[in-house]
């Protein structure tokens, strides 16, 4: 029987997840289909309950439902428990389990695909929202140094910093000297503007959790103009977190490089 999976979000029409998982399934010989679910903002629970009642095997969860998913599932893995957010749901023994593969995806993209060094890297995360909560633990475990969260509202950064044991600053307090800077704000959607001072990016490896198929998000363009050592958008993270979800569902680790390469080639 063909196993059914989907990504649930609102909006979700732009999602690349069906293409990514179709490529994984074809390469690994897996009998599965992968669709999109777009319930109303208030309709998450009904939509996912109906999906699993109809025999669905697993879901990816994207904005704005990651916290709804955390509350809905029966149990969490360690990453989801720490993040307070779920991006992958699977069923085991008749119970739903919520996982979070965002941090795994980010660290693998940075270390394997980009070849950047994280161990000992003085690292700043811009933003203290749900996206940061999904990655901060994985970055800590990768061995980064002086991990600091910066947010426009400093008190929010301090709350998250106290919870995870990392530094906290206001965005206007971020200076230079960073090895890695990760943009986890939504500023890249409409341009960076005065997010942080230019010296924050100068000489650093700058990573945007947002992605553009051509790799040129507003944050990446801004960081390059500020003299960043290297820049990357989050397309590789999207593919790597999908691979981690695929492994949880199917027990198979797919090759990610061909899929990432194919996605980039569509922008040429």
Do residue 210 and residue 120 come from a single domain?
Answer: yes
Please state, in angstroms and rounded to a whole number, the distance separating the CA atoms of residues 109 and 268: 21
> Which secondary-structure segment (H or E) carries 230?
strand 230-232
Query: pLDDT-derived band of residue 6, with 50, 70 and 90 as boundaries?
Result: very high
Q: Which of 40-44, 71-75, 213-217 has the lowest mean pLDDT?
A: 213-217
Do residue 71 and residue 137 come from a single domain?
Answer: no
pLDDT of amino acid 192: 47
Into how many domains does the chain fold? 2
Please state, in angstroms and rounded to a whole number, the distance separating the CA atoms of residues 50 and 226: 49
Query: pLDDT-derived band of residue 194, with 50, 70 and 90 as boundaries?
Result: low
Do residue 77 and residue 37 come from a single domain?
Answer: yes
Domain range enclosing 155: 103-233
Given a cut of 50, whether residue 240 has pLDDT beyond it is yes
* DSSP classification of residue 125: E
pLDDT of amino acid 17: 97
Q: Give every CB contact of residue 26 below 8 A, 6+ residues apart in sequence.
A: none
Domain CATH code at residue 32? 3.40.50.10860
pLDDT of amino acid 266: 83
Which SS3 state, helix, strand or coil, does residue 176 take? Answer: coil
Do residue 107 and residue 86 come from a single domain?
Answer: no
Do residue 196 and residue 135 come from a single domain?
Answer: yes
Task: Tell me what percent of the residues of the chain surpass a pLDDT of 90.
Answer: 90
Domain CATH code at residue 185? 3.40.50.720
pLDDT of amino acid 187: 65
Please state, in angstroms and rounded to a whole number, the distance separating the CA atoms of residues 188 and 217: 6
Q: Give every CB contact of residue 121 below 8 A, 6+ residues apart in sequence.
A: 144, 145, 179, 180, 205
pLDDT of amino acid 243: 98
Do residue 27 and residue 133 come from a single domain?
Answer: no
Do residue 194 and residue 261 come from a single domain?
Answer: no
Q: Which residues are catalytic?
A: 66
| Higher local confidence (pLDDT), 218 or 124 | 124
Query: pLDDT-derived band of residue 5, with 50, 70 and 90 as boundaries?
Result: very high
């Amino acid at each position: 029987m063909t196993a059914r999976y989907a990504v649930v979000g609102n909006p979700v029409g732009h999602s690349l997840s069906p293409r990514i998982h179709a490529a994984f399934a074809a390469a690994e010989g897996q009998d599965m289909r992968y669709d999109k679910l777009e319930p109303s903002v208030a309709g998450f629970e009904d939509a996912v309950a109906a999906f699993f009642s109809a025999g669905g095997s697993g879901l990816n969860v994207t904005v704005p439902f990651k916290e709804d998913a955390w509350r809905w599932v029966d149990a969490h893995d360690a990453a989801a428990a720490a993040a307070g957010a779920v991006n992958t749901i699977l069923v085991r023994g008749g119970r739903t389990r919520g996982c979070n593969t965002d941090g795994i995806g980010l660290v693998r993209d940075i270390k394997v695909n980009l070849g950047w060094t994280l161990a000992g890297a003085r690292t700043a995360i811009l933003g203290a929202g749900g996206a940061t909560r999904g990655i901060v633990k994985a970055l800590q475990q990768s061995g980064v140094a002086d991990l600091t969260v910066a947010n426009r509202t400093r008190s929010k950064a301090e709350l998250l910093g106290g919870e995870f044991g990392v530094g906290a600053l206001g965005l206007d307090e971020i200076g230079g000297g960073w090895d890695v800077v990760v943009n986890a704000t939504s500023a890249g959607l409409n341009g960076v503007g005065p997010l942080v001072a230019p010296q924050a990016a100068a000489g650093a490896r700058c990573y945007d959790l947002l992605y553009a198929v051509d790799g040129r998000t507003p944050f990446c363009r801004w960081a390059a103009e500020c003299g960043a050592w290297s820049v990357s958008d989050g397309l590789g993270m999207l593919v790597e977190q999908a691979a981690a979800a695929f492994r949880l569902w199917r027990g198979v680790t797919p090759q990610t490089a061909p899929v990432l390469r194919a996605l980039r080639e569509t922008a040429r």
